[in-house]
Amino acid sequence: MPIIDQGYQHWSGRLAGHRWRWLAITRHGVKIAMRSYFLRYVLLVAWVPALVLVTTLSAWGLLERKSKLARIFSQFMQFMNPGVIADPRHYRAEVWRLAYGYFFHVELFFAMIVILIVGPGLISRDLRVNALPLYFSRPLRRIDYFLGKLGVVGTFLGMVLIVPAVIAYIFGLLFSVDFTVVRDTFAILVGATAYGLLITVSAGLLILALSALSRNSRYVALLWLGLWFVGGIGSSVLSAVHQQQRRYVYHPASALRVAPPHRGAWGATPAVQEPAVPTSRNWRALLSYTANLSRVGAHLLGTNTAWEKLSRLEPTARGRRSLLARFGGPWYPWYWSAVVLAVLLGLSLCILNLSIRTLDRLK
């Protein structure tokens, strides 16, 4: 029977630094998550809005070039103001901003679903099987562990948010064939990338913090759904009440659904003049996590500015107010939502630091 020496053997391989050690955790997490067929279907469906964005930007490029194919797409653009169709290059930036705004509005819903599928078990599963001592018995720091877990969420959110936005921008450039398009739209690409990174970092750290609070991933999923739906429903109800109150101030007869008393041209009670551009201090949307993300995203993409420019095409002040009220907004200051997201980010970091500190034994 052979005798095998169990003594120390010098490592002759290539040593790697701490810089990329988190990547091994990310690769392992992505490989496990991709085993879910439901996640694959969600990712596949999430690319449908990306195809719509690519088609919109490409069609707008053809419209700027006065291509024959633009006649086909122009039939589907009858809802736009004729002035926009008549001078597409002048409104290029505004149309791009609104296209990206609608894209992120839809993709934010799919991003929340992706996080619901991937995120709850990232840390809770390690807590349940007591795998953290195995992680930290290797030359692995807590920052490496957190970055590896965040990289799993970032990989899938990048596939849903950032990668489609960049691909759509490239197609928009190719179909436009105009050097000025880079000057007019490069800020939109930067804003879209920043918005995608904001969603990834904020939502990723938040779901990791929730996952560190429980060993049962089902409870974590319920916490995420509660944060998503309960906050959104409460914000919607309070905002609807606030909107009804504003409607009563500016249009009391229509709010009460009662015909105004007939007092003649000089005897009618005048209503309060509504401002041409909405300026709201409505804080009720701050209760919704997704609404806060959307408000900061609207600032990064400049969608409100685009709606204000397009509203000038309306011949009457009432038409401009109606357009901004229906499609624009929210109009409260964007830094309110930025403060809320910053507070949630700080709480997430504190929870992660306190939850993992006692298990980080080896340095």
The single-letter code of the amino acid at 30 is V
Residues 236/294, Cβ–Cβ less than 8 Å: no
Residue 250 and residue 242: Cα distance in Å, rounded? 13
pLDDT digits (tens, 9 = 90+) for 54-75: 988 988 888 877 776 666 655 5
Give the rounded percent of residues in the chain with a pLDDT score beyond 70.
75
Percent helix, strand and coil across the chain, each to the nearest 5: 75, 0, 25
Q: Which two tokens stand for residue 140?
A: 């692995």
Distance of alpha carbon 307 from its chain centroid, rounded?
A: 19
Write the CB contacts of 336 (distance below 8 Å, at least 6 apart in sequence): 283, 286, 295
DSSP string for 216-235: -HHHHHHHHHIIIIIHHHHH
Would the pLDDT of 115 be above 50?
yes
pLDDT digits (tens, 9 = 90+) for 177-233: 778 888 889 999 999 999 999 999 999 999 999 999 989 999 999 999 988 888 878
| Mean of all residue pLDDT scores within the chain | 81
Q: Taking residues 260-274, report their average pLDDT.
A: 44
Residue 241: its pLDDT value, please?
65
How many C-beta atoms lie closer than 10 Å to residue 268's C-beta? Answer: 12
CA distances from 105 to 82, 100, 149, 202, 260 (A): 25, 8, 26, 16, 39
Residues 156/118, Cβ–Cβ less than 8 Å: yes
Split at pLDDT 50, 70, 90, the class of 9 is low
Residue listed under structure tokens 């880079």: 182
Residue 42 and residue 111: Cα distance in Å, rounded? 10
Sign of CA dihedral 96, 101, 104, 109: negative
Q: Which two tokens stand for residue 179?
A: 């050097």
Instruction: Show me where the domains of the chain are located.
Output: 20-257+275-359
pLDDT digits (tens, 9 = 90+) for 268-314: 444 444 455 555 666 777 888 998 999 999 999 999 888 888 888 77
Cα torsion for 123, 127, 133, 139, to the nearest 10°?
A: 0
Cis-peptide, bond into residue 330, ω within 30° of zero:
yes
Q: Taking residues 79-90, report their average pLDDT.
A: 68
Would the pLDDT of 354 be above 80?
yes
Residue 11: its pLDDT value, please?
59
pLDDT digits (tens, 9 = 90+) for 88-104: 778 888 989 999 999 99
Query: Considering only 147-156, 178-187, 312-321, which range has the smallest mean pLDDT?
Result: 312-321
Tell me 8's DSSP state. -
Residue 75: its pLDDT value, please?
56
Would the pLDDT of 10 be above 50?
yes
Q: How many residues are recorded in the chain?
A: 363
pTM: 0.83
Would the pLDDT of 267 be above 50?
no
Residue 159 and residue 196: Cα distance in Å, rounded? 10
Residues 58/171, Cβ–Cβ less than 8 Å: yes
Nearest Cα to Cα of residue 154 among 90, 104, 109, 205 = 205
Would the pLDDT of 360 be above 50?
no
